[in-house]
Amino acid sequence: MKERTLGVLSPLTVSSIGLGCMGMSHGYGPAANVDEMVGLIRKAYDLGVTFFDTAEVYGPYTNEELVGKALEPIRNHVKIATKFGISMEMEKFTQVLDSRPETIRKSVEGSLKRLRTDHIDLYYQHRVDPDVPVEDVAGTIKELMDEGKILHWGLSEASIKTIRAAHAILPLTAVQNEYSMFWREPEKELIGVLEELGIGLVTFSPLGKGYLTGGITKDTKFTKHDFRNSVPRFTKENIEANMALVDFIKGLAIEKDMTPSQVAIAWLLYQKPWIVPIPGSRSLRHLEDNLGAADVSFTQEELKRIDEVLDSIHIQGDRYNANNQANVGN
C-alpha cells in the first residue's frame, strides 16, 4: 500500500488507509472477541496498514488494551494514534470533557501502559474542552513531546478558530473529522484551512457509519448498545430518505467493477493527497474490501460527475443527537 504524509511542519508518514479500531470494542454493540480482533489487526498490518486509531474512552480503556496487545510484536513498524479529553462517569454512564493539564498527564501515562509502548505517534484532543484554554492544552502536549512520550499531536472535531490558535502555539500534524460522501461539511471551510496551514486530515466514518456500504436499509435493526440507535440520521424515515445516495454509489460500483465501500473510500483518497481515511472493521472480508479502495482510480471526468450528483442529493438527519454532542462515534 502507498503511504501519505500528514502535516508539513511536523510530518508523519502513514499508510494511505488506516484502521479505525473503535468498533472492535465500543460503539457498535457488544465487544468482539479479543483474540479474533488481535488477529485481524495483525492481518491488517500484513496487508499494508501501518496506521491504527484508538482512544482512551473507547470501552473505556479496553480498546487501547486490545490495540496494544495486537501491535506489541510489530510496534516499531506501525504508527498508533490515540486520544485524550473525554472521560466516563460510570455511575451515570455519561461522557465528560476534561482536558486539564493534570488529566492529560494521567491520560497519557495510562495510554502508554495499555498500548504497551513508550511513545504515542499521534495524540489527539478528542473533543475541545471549553473550560480549558487551548494554550494550556498545547503547553502540556509540548512538555510531553519534550519528554519523548508524544511525537505528534492533533485535534478532533475542533472549530476553525481552535485549530488556528492551537497550530500557532504548537504545530498540528493532523485534525480528525468525520468526512464522507454522507457528510461533506468539511468541504465548506475546514479542508481549505488545513491546506493553508499544512495540516493533514484523518477522516473517521468514511463509510457513513456503515450506511455507504449499502448494507443498511430502513428495516435494519441495530443491537441494544449500538450508538446509531440515538443518531437522527439513522431513523427509519431518514435512512429511507437518503437511499438515493446509496443507490448512486451502488451504480458507480457496478460501473467500476468494485464494491460500494471501495467507491466511497477511494473518492475520499482523491479529494486531497493528505487525507487518510480510517474505516473500521470486525471481519477479514470487510477489511480486505476496504483496503481494496487504495487500488481504485477515477478520471477527472468521473470525479466531476460524482460531485455533481452528490451536490444534487440532500441528506436528511443530523449526525449526532443534539442532546449529547460529545457522544463519541469516532
Please write the tens of the pLDDT for every residue from 295-323.
Answer: 999 999 999 999 999 999 999 999 987 65
pLDDT score of 78 more than 90 = yes
Of 83, 82, 77, the closest CA to residue 15 belongs to 77
pLDDT score of 325 more than 50 = no
pLDDT score of 88 more than 90 = no
Quick one: 230 exposed, middle or buried, by C-beta within 10 A (0-12, 13-18, 19+)? middle
Distance CA 134, CA 162 (A): 7
pTM of the model: 0.96
103-140 confidence digits (pLDDT tens): 999 999 999 999 999 999 999 999 999 999 999 999 99
Mean pLDDT of all residues in 164-180: 98
pLDDT score of 234 more than 80 = yes
**102 contact partners, CB below 8 Å, separation of at least 6:** none
**231 contact partners, CB below 8 Å, separation of at least 6:** 209, 317, 318, 319, 320, 321, 329
Of 58, 123, 124, 179, the catalytic one is 58
Mean pLDDT of all residues in 184-203: 98
**Share above pLDDT 70 across residues of the chain, in percent, rounded to a whole number:** 96
Distance CA 210, CA 212 (A): 6
Q: What is the DSSP track for 292-309?
A: GGGG----HHHHHHHHHH
pLDDT for 93 equals 55
Of 86, 39, 51, 36, the closest CA to residue 204 belongs to 51
Are the CB atoms for 245 and 313 separated by under 8 Å? yes
pLDDT for 329 equals 59
Mean pLDDT of all residues in 272-282: 98
Mean pLDDT of all residues in 210-223: 93
pLDDT for 323 equals 59
pLDDT range class, residue 91, cuts 50, 70, 90: low
Cα-Cα-Cα-Cα torsion 135, 140, 146, 147, nearest 10 degrees, comes to 180
Residue 320 known to be catalytic: no
Rounded to the nearest integer, the mean pLDDT of the chain is: 95
pLDDT score of 182 more than 90 = yes
The three cell numbers locating residue 265? 473510500
Q: Report the sign of the C-alpha dihedral through residues 36, 85, 157, 3, in that order.
A: negative
Q: Report the sign of the C-alpha dihedral through residues 6, 48, 24, 27, in that order.
A: positive
Distance CA 232, CA 194 (A): 29
Distance CA 180, CA 323 (A): 23
**235 contact partners, CB below 8 Å, separation of at least 6:** 317
